[in-house]
Every structure is written in C-alpha cells, then in structure tokens.
Structure 1
C-alpha cells in the first residue's frame, strides 16, 4: 500500500507534464498569444494533476470501505471532485416557453433607425417594459408605427447578452433585399454573453420566444397577399436562444443561426440554416471537452478543453468568416434564405 501511495504523486506529475506539453505544443483552433498558450498549458497541467490525485484518493477510499475502515476526509473530498468532473458534460440547459404579460406592461418605447439601403430597424431596450412579453409587444407597436408592415420582409434579430447585434450581418441582408426589410431587436439583458450562457440562457430564450410569437401573431392579421415574410436571425448566444425558443414560438419563413455556442459536431437545428466557422472556438467550447471528444474536433483529454478555452480570447479579433466573426460572410446564406422564403 505504501508503495502505491508513493507512486501516485509520480503518476500525477507525469500526467500533468503530458497534459501541459500537449496543450502548448499541439495545434489550436486559433493561434493565441504566447502568454495565453502558456497559461492554458499550466491550467491543463494543474487539472490533470488534480484529477489523477483525486482518482488515487478515491481508490484509497474504496479500499478502506471494503476493509471496513472509516473513510477519511481527503478521499471523500476527492470523490466529490471526480463526480463534479464527470458531470461537467452537462452544459447549461436553456429554458423554453413564453411568459405572459401583465396588465399595463406595454409601453411605446421602441426606437427607430435607418439601416443601409433604406431599411428600417426597430429596437426596444431592456427598460422598454417590465417583462419579455411587454418588450415584445412594444416592438410590435414600433414595427407598426414605423410602417414596417408594408415591407416585404420582417427580420427578428436576437441580440447577445449585452444587446449587441452584428451590424455587418444586418447590412448584408438589407443589401440583398434592396432595403425592403425591417429588423426588430429586443434587449433582454445588459451583461456579457458568457455570463448569460453560464447562467443557463433562460432569459435569452424567453425573450426570443416572446418576440417571435408576438411578431407572428401581428403578421397573421395582415391579409395573405400583403403579408411580409418573417425571418429570424441569431448569432452567438442569440443563435442558441432562437434554437431553444422556436419550437414553442411557432414556424417562421426562414431562420439563420451563426456561431451557435456548443454546436460543433452537432446536427443543424431543424428548419434553420446554420453557419459555423470551422475555427470558431465558441461553437466547440463546453466543459464536457475535459473528459469527452466531440465529432469533428481533434481531441486530447484535458488539453483540448484548455486550448479551446484559450482560443476564446482572440476569437473576435479575426476577419469575417474566421473565429467568432461572421458579418458579411453570411451573405451567401442570406441569399439562399431570401430565395427560399420568396418561393
């Protein structure tokens, strides 16, 4: 027993060196700065060392239990750590469904601006109403007052957690539609997308479902011959929110999702066109990469997770079509979607 215990630190050290060196030396989804690469290597080494030490302590715990000895505190703690690590593949689960609005919740606070080619953009801020449905109904009122129902296309663009919408992506569809489009955007949060994602993304999903449902209901009242087509668009966290909300919100005439978090290696969302840059780490990231591979991504335990995590930092500093940048690189997908929606 004592020899086994003496060897465990050596095994942990070998595992740490292996994970750290492979993290630093093997290809990354995006090349990061040297400091990021080294930091990721150190974190990979520490993770591997802790995992091996925890596994060894768990083995001691099992042996003690079989011998009828009272479990010691350190193996018990190690067992808890391993259970947490084993469960890390279960990422945030976005909620679905649409909440109901309260009385007096709707206010006419939508802002109107002109995009390229004479297109219209209607936006409702987070302070537009007290609930998701209230903000959605404010957006519909803004859509009506702006004359958006006379356009051939209504586009619901779901923003990220901070309220950001890809202006270049909107400009691409506006150009292709000849300006005959109105975009509706409703904010649901004022914090970074990563914070919303780690908290589960429920607010984004509820807001997306409320807006799509409200706009669909209003368009249904327009005579079929004059009814605009309804397209929906989400990028990054907005794409994940749309994917979760559409089954409850109802059918649309076209759906475009770009850079959906965690979508790497997964099939496309039914009824949606998905665009994912091959080197977009946001599409591949997930805590499950610590212990399990994903289809289409070269994988090493522990190391790949920290590589993808480190690649998140330069993901937005890329030209369109690489990393987590999409913009006007979405033009072919927009052209296909507009053509399909017109048929």
Structure 2
C-alpha cells in the first residue's frame, strides 16, 4: 500500500497488493521449508497454536485497515504532486477484495503446479530413482507452464491484439483531413496514398503548424513545414519502407531545407505532436520531418511483445536518410536531427553506438521518455559524472549531452557545445525507471534524493516496488504535462536550446508556447 511514482487507481492497487500478498506468502513458505530442511521442526501445543492464531487475527484487524487508510492518504499526496483530481478514499475498501482474489488465484496456480509435480514424481518413482523422478517432473511442469503461458495465452492474445490493431489502423481520427499541400505525404502530389499511411500517419501529416501560424507566433517569414511518412502497408519490409521515406524526402525537396529531422515513432507510428510542432516553429518552418510506421501494435503491447521492430526501424530509417544526406554537397546539407519518444526513443537510439556516434552523425537529438532497457541511455547514465543523480545525470560537465526533467535543467554553469543531445525525462515516469532489477535491487534513483513530483515517502521494498512501478506504467501518460510519461510544453524551450537559432529570444519561446497552447 506504500506510494510509488504515480497515483494508482484502486483496482490497479488491488492487483499490485494481491501479487505482493502471494509473493510474501511464497517467501514465507520457502523460509519455513528451509528451516525444516535444517532439522528445526518445532511442535506447538494446541493452546499455543490457538493463542498464535488469535494474536495474528488481532494484528490483522488492526494493521490491514490502518495501512489501507495510510495507503489512501499517500495516494492523495501523489495526486497533489502531479496535479491529478482526488479519488474517493472509500474506493480503497475494494482493494482488499481484489487483492485477496488475485492472491488466491496465484496461490491456487502454485498449489496446482505443486500437486501436478508430486503426482508425476510419484508415478516416475516406479521406473527411476526418486531424485531423478522429482527433477524430471519439475522440469516437465515448468515446460508445460511456459508453453501454456507463451504459446496459448501470450501468443494468442498478441495475435488477437495485432489483428484488432490492424483493423483499427484503417480508421481516421476525428477532424483529421487529407492535406492538399505537396509538402505532405498522402497529398495529391505524394506517391504515398492517404489510405496507406495508417491512423497515426494520417494524423501526423495532417497536423502541425502552417507557415502563417508560425509567422503569427514568431513575427518572422516562414515556410510550410515538410512532413513525410510511410505506412506499414506500403512496403513488404522495414528497409523498403525506409527507402520510400527517402523518396518522399527527395520529392518534397526536404534536403534543401535548413533542418531535416528523423523521427522514430512508437508502436503504431505515433509521433508526439508537441515535439514535432515545436521543432517546426523553432526552425521557422524551414524544416522536414521524416517518419514511418513499423507495427500495428499499440506502444504498450510493443513494449512487452516486440522490441526488435523499433530497433530495426530506427536503424533502417536513419541509415537510409543519412546515406542520402551524406551524398549531398557538405555546404548545402540541412542540419540533421534525430528524435523519438518512448519506444521511438529506444528505436531511434539504436541507429547509434552511443553519445559520441550521435555527435559525429547528427547536428542534435532529442530523446524523450526513454525506456530503462535502452542500452545507449543506460550506458550514458552509468557513465555520469560523480555526484550527479541518476534521475538527472551530468555527462562530461554538460559539454554536449544534457538531461532535463524541465527546461531549466538544461542550464548548467559549463559551456554547451555543438551538437547538442538532450534526454528529456521525468522523475515520476515509470517508463524510464521500470526494470526487472527492481525485484531485488534498490536503484540509485531511490537511494538519492527523490524528484520534486515523487512522494517523499516512497521506499524500495524487494518485489513490492517492482509490481507497484509496473502498475504505474498502465496510465503513465494520463497525467498532466510535466509528470509521468506526458511531454508537451517544454519541447519549445528544448528545441530552441538544441538548435540555438540566430536571434531567438526567450520572448520568442513564450510566444510559441502560447501559440501551441491555443
């Protein structure tokens, strides 16, 4: 019931608590088994047992309601920190019901597995020595369990989700209209049909500011931003899709713009509209953004089921664009940028060996809400300057790579050279901090002072914290901007810092922020 990174809905709290109950019970059973194996097997009288049970019941009657109330109170503190509407505390009475149901189900599965193992071992002892029968039965039960979970449940659910997502991909979001300007994929001038772009692709190419909107906000002449996109259905392979993106870039004259950005999307090809739009405002529309779809699965399912496609797509797209960009005369090339959010950040970074490679082959990059399993992010974070926290590392004094939770975090005392690489992440974002290491190891970000939007009462507890942060991920994007996995307004400030446009002022940043907020 202790707090973690984000507010948990009562039913998610029930799931986390139920898993923790089953885990605690399992650890207790394991400890008792080890004690018995060591030859310690106390025999208590019926009177002692009765006293013990009544004592346990007394503790339960007092402690369970107490911690249910404390848990509800701590959740209100987390809600206040991230600006989420308060939830009625009475809902937490239902947590006990759900948690006991989850724990009972897990306990039944464990006992059914143990019973199957014992029966198979008893049968096997007729033909082989008892230790061999025991080990063999255990291996068989585990193998069958994995086959059921992976082959029937996991693959079946993922297959169903993929088919449903593919069907939904043919729909178009409300108020999204096919663009007429030739600078957009899916337009009448484009080689990519509007229908082939997918739901997120259509939203992407139809969105963004116009040249008139950019001029109204900045007071400077602007061009119509270029946005090119290729849908999953347009090519048989990811590499073929990347080649089609380059063809669209050539068609639109993207390599003649001042800025060219390679954006790796999330599972279904979503590109953060705030990050893309902020770049276009900051570049006065003299920009081109290239992206493509590599999956039908929503980001949450891709996070679990498919981590190869984002990497393949990130590498293929950047390498294809980079090859064409490098073939142009050096004096006429646009600034080459890279960005991505969540799985897009993970996939986009896969095109690079590390920070030095990013600096060598780009003119700047913005990685948003990077998942913990991203090797480039992990390597850079682990190599941070001594004394800098894990949630906001300082890398080589901030020479080229900087981390930020808010725009002001980019302001360090040391000079910031070019190119500039920014990792934008929130202290309360479970996508960035979730890791299997949480099961048994306390991470540095929980050893160090916590972030300003994290409940100061959050503590690491073996097993428990892992499941709490896992539940936090479910609605990590359903919190206000600046918290969790929601990244919007500060994109303007960050792009302005990365690009450092001539004559750009803090007043320009505020004007653009106001324009994008309308």
Same topology, TM > 0.5 = yes
Deviations 1:62-105 (A, max 9, x none): 99xxxx97377499849x98xxxxxxxxxxxxxxxxxxxxxxxx
Residue number among 168, 180, 186 corresponding to 2:286 in the alignment: 180
Q: Cα offset for 1:288? A: 2.3
Aligned to 1:316: 477
Distance 1:47 1:311 in 2: 19
Q: Is the 8 A contact 1:113 1:122 kept in 2?
A: no
Specify the SS of the correspondent of 1:219.
helix
1:45 aligns with 2:151: no
Specify the SS of the correspondent of 1:245.
coil
Aligned to 1:109: 192
Q: Cα offset for 1:263? A: 6.3
What's the Cα RMSD here? 3.4
Distance 1:58 1:219 in 2: 64
Q: 191-200 or 139-148: which moved more?
A: 191-200
- Could you tell me which runs of 5 or more consecutive residues in structure 2 were left unpaired when the two chains were aligned: 40-128, 143-189, 195-204, 215-223, 382-394, 396-400, 402-420, 447-458, 504-518
Residue number among 254, 257, 282 corresponding to 2:367 in the alignment: 257
Distance 1:241 1:60 in 2: 50
Q: Cα offset for 1:267? A: 5.6
Deviations 1:23-43 (A, max 9, x none): x1x222011122222321111
Aligned to 1:284: 433
Specify the SS of the correspondent of 1:232.
strand
Deviations 1:271-324 (A, max 9, x none): 632111110011111222112222112411111111111111231111221110
Q: Is the 8 A contact 2:282 2:501 kept in 1?
A: no
Deviations 1:194-248 (A, max 9, x none): 3323335111111111111111111112222221011000100111112222229
* Aligned counterparts, 1:206-217, within 5 A: 206-217=312-323
Q: Cα offset for 1:332? A: 2.4
Distance 1:35 1:325 in 2: 22
Q: Is the 8 A contact 2:373 2:435 kept in 1?
A: no
Change (3 A) 1:239 1:62: farther
Distance 1:41 1:340 in 2: 51
Q: Is the 8 A contact 1:61 1:76 kept in 2?
A: no
Distance 1:329 1:71 in 2: 62
Change (3 A) 1:56 1:188: farther
Q: Is the 8 A contact 1:171 1:328 kept in 2?
A: no
Specify the SS of the correspondent of 2:445.
coil
Deviations 1:1-34 (A, max 9, x none): xxxxxxxxxxxxxxxxxxxxxxx1x222011122
* Aligned counterparts, 1:155-166, within 5 A: 155-166=261-272
The alignment of Structure 1 onto Structure 2 pairs a total of residues equal to 288
Give the TM-score of the pair, scaled to structure 2.
Answer: 0.50
Deviations 1:130-166 (A, max 9, x none): 1121111100110111121221011111000121111
Aligned to 1:133: 239
Give the TM-score of the pair, scaled to structure 1.
Answer: 0.74
Aligned to 1:17: none
Distance 1:75 1:321 in 2: 53
Residue number among 238, 244, 250 corresponding to 2:350 in the alignment: 244
Q: Cα offset for 1:60? A: 7.1
Distance 2:369 2:232 in 1: 24
Aligned to 2:11: 35
Flag the structure with larger Rg: 2
Aligned to 1:145: 251
Q: Is the 8 A contact 1:231 1:253 kept in 2?
A: yes
Aligned to 1:305: 466
Distance 1:53 1:340 in 2: 64
- Could you tell me which runs of 5 or more consecutive residues in structure 1 were left unpaired when the two chains were aligned: 1-23, 82-106
Q: Cα offset for 1:169? A: 1.3
